Amino acid sequence: MTPQDDIREELKAIAPRLNNLMERKPTNPFNAPQGYFDLLPQETLSNVKRLNNLVGSLNDETHAATNPFAVPVDYFDALPNDMLDLVKAQPKVVALWPNRWKDWLSIAAAVAAIVLAGVPLLKQNNAVTRQPVAVLRNVSNDELYNYLSEDVGTIRVDEIAAGLPDAKLDTLERAMVAVHTAAYNDAEFDVSQVDIDDIESL
């Protein structure tokens, strides 16, 4: 059995259907131009010569010694002085951790101004909300009657009672219950049901 037969048998064992398709002996299906192989040795040798000549010319002393790049006239004469000028110029020192005390001072001043302006406003606001008794004393009885008559649904005991002692809260609560009861019963609100003395005593 020849090596070719071995190869055919091997292919038959691995891929029998492929082997059936390729019944005939494998042939190279690619063609080369006519006379290509006759000219090949000559062409190859001429390529080798061309390459060798190229390499030889690059190694040639005349080529190796010539620098193909030009420099401006007197460049190398001026170079030492140019370099010394560069060395003499003091570079700007940039601190790794710059001292920014001015920035920090500005920030501190701004914070202090906000605090100083904010504290009196805060105190004033607290004084208004925490002293309803003083506010109520400045309200006339007529204004109080009108307020209770018109704003029955919107009166909030907790707002008025904020900051009042427990004893005063009972009084306020009695007055408000009377107002709300009248509103719930859809009865005409009778201001006389409110004990104004109780409210005034707040």
Are residues 48 and 37 in contact, defined by beta-carbon separation less than 8 angstroms? no
What is the closest distance, in whole angstroms, from the C-beta atom of residue 40 to other proteins in the complex? 7
Asked if 185 interacts with other proteins (CB under 8 A), we say: no
Interaction mask 140-169, other proteins, x per CB under 8 A: ------------------------------
Asked if 39 interacts with other proteins (CB under 8 A), we say: no
Q: Tokens 């006239």 belong to which residue? A: 73
Q: In this structure, which amino acid lies at residue 59?
A: N
What is the closest distance, in whole angstroms, from the C-beta atom of residue 35 to other proteins in the complex? 13
Per DSSP, the residues of 133-171 read HHHHHHS-HHHHHHHHHH-TTT--HHHHHTT--HHHHHH
End-to-end, the C-alpha distance of the chain in Å comes to 128
Interaction mask 40-79, other proteins, x per CB under 8 A: x--xx--xx--x----------------------------
Give the whole-angstrom CA distance, residue 200 versus residue 141.
9
Q: Tokens 């030889």 belong to which residue? A: 56
Asked if 1 interacts with other proteins (CB under 8 A), we say: no
Give the whole-angstrom CA distance, residue 127 versus residue 135.
10
Of 1, 14, 87, 115, which lies in the binding site for other proteins, with binding defined by CB under 8 A? Answer: 14
Interface with other proteins by CB under 8 A: which range of 29-37, 99-107, 152-160, 189-197? 29-37
Q: Is 85 left (phi over 0), alpha (psi -120 to 50) or beta?
A: alpha
> Which of residues 10 and 143 has its CB atom nearest to other proteins in the complex?
10
Give the whole-angstrom CA distance, residue 171 versus residue 202.
8
> Which of residues 27 and 99 has its CB atom nearest to other proteins in the complex?
27
Asked if 177 interacts with other proteins (CB under 8 A), we say: no
Are residues 164 and 133 in contact, defined by beta-carbon separation less than 8 angstroms? yes
What is the closest distance, in whole angstroms, from the C-beta atom of residue 18 to other proteins in the complex? 4
For residue 90, give the 3-state DSSP assignment.
Answer: coil
Q: In this structure, which amino acid lies at residue 99?
A: N
> Which of residues 23 and 166 has its CB atom nearest to other proteins in the complex?
23
Asked if 32 interacts with other proteins (CB under 8 A), we say: yes
What is the contact surface with other proteins in residues (CB under 8 A)? 3-4, 7, 10-11, 14-15, 17-18, 21-22, 26-33, 36, 40, 43-44, 47-48, 51
